[in-house]
Amino acid sequence: MAKPNFIELPGCDAIPIIFEDRSVLAIDKPRGWMLVPDSWRKTNWNLQTAIDSSIRADDFWARSRNLRYLRHVHRLDADTSGVMLFAKSEGAMRAMGDLFESRQMEKTYLAVVEGVPKEKEWTCQLPIGSDPKNFGKMRVDYSEEGRESETHFRVLMSNERFTLIEASPLTGRTHQIRLHLAESGSPIMCDEIYGRVEKGFRLGLRAVQLAYKDAFTRRPVNIIAPAEEFLREFNFKLTPELQSSKWVRRAFVPKEKGQGEKSPLLVKKNPAS
């Protein structure tokens, strides 16, 4: 029987696996799942703990892969969806972690803000540190405790209310994109920490791409999560201009007989390899 291209955990929808090789497995993380230490008992939505439990239970998605180890290499906020990378071994964990630490991992997010930013393209380099007065919140921190941070932003399109922004963080600080956009005067839609919440909407932030050179094979790897549903939430369409973006997945299929060469087709999900 073929390996399923999803992770099944109790009490929730199946989580799509969007990429897999011998070293790593990447999922399209749904909103709601947290990545917190096992000792943190304030939620039942601890993704790492749930996956560990499923592996120990020998559930089919894990058994079919002979998985005994699967550990998240990086983090996404609970309400941020999209590409989430896991290592299949301690050796892969170290190698992938080094790529993040050495800034050799290309990360791309889509962010939705209200209104139109002043600039079409800009880079924010404000240092980030923990806010001592507000647990779980970050702030701009110019002291020695503040850590250098850098995010490049590019406006993609606007509609009657929202603007869609491509965010490319060079560093990986907690809440980096959220804080940098808020400090730029354009907080992310429905950000309860750095902006405001509006009924009927969810946090407008999605991780759509991870790209890197494999530490073992030296081959380029490009992992993309589908963006169509996220765009529809905020009344954006996947226009021809957006379809040329690096984070849009494409495949090529033959046209019907007599219609010539192959043509591009947008694919919503990439089955695990």
Q: pLDDT digit string (tens) for 112-170?
A: 999 999 999 999 999 999 999 998 899 999 999 999 999 999 999 999 999 999 999 99
Q: CA 225 to CA 233: how far, in whole Å?
A: 16
For residue 37, name the pLDDT band (cuts at 50, 70, 90): low
Q: What is the pTM of this model?
A: 0.88
Known catalytic residues? 77
* Helix, strand, or coil (residue 213): strand
Which residue, among 97, 232, 239, has the nearest Cα to 156 in the 3D structure? 239
pLDDT of 219 > 70? The answer is yes
pLDDT bucket at 189, cuts 50 / 70 / 90: very high
Distance CA 251, CA 17 (A): 18
Give me the pLDDT at residue 257, please.
42
Q: Which of 191, 211, 194, 213 is nearest to 202 (CA)?
A: 191
Topology of domain 106-209+228-243, per CATH? Pseudouridine synthase (3.30.2350)
AA letter at 17: I
- Tell me which of 10 and 262 has the higher pLDDT: 10
Nearest in space to 180 (alpha carbons), one of 153, 199, 158: 153
In this prediction, residue 10 has a pLDDT band, given cuts at 50, 70 and 90, of: confident
Whether 272 has a pLDDT exceeding 50, the answer reads no
Q: How far apart are CA 162 and CA 114, in angstroms?
A: 5
pLDDT given at position 259: 43
Are the CB atoms for 146 and 125 separated by under 8 Å? no
pLDDT value at residue 36: 62
Q: Domain boundaries in the chain? A: 1-102, 106-209+228-243
Query: Which 3 state secondary structure label does DSSP give 151?
Result: strand
pLDDT band at 45 (very low <50, low <70, confident <90, very high): confident
Mean pLDDT of 69-91: 96
> In terms of CATH architecture, what is 1-102?
2-Layer Sandwich (3.30)
Residue partners of 114: CB distance under 8 A and separation at least 6:
161, 162, 163, 186, 187, 189
- Hey, do 1-102 and 106-209+228-243 end up sharing a CATH topology, with the first three levels equal? yes
Which residues make Cβ contacts (< 8 Å) with residue 140, sequence separation at least 6?
126, 127, 128, 129, 146, 179, 183
Contact 78, 36 (CB under 8 A): no
Sign of torsion, CA 38 3 106 104?
positive
Q: Above 90 in pLDDT, residue 262?
A: no
Helix, strand or coil, per DSSP, at residue 5? coil
* Cβ-based neighbours of 157, under 8 Å, separated by 6 or more: 163, 164, 236, 239, 241, 242
Whole-number pLDDT of residue 89: 97
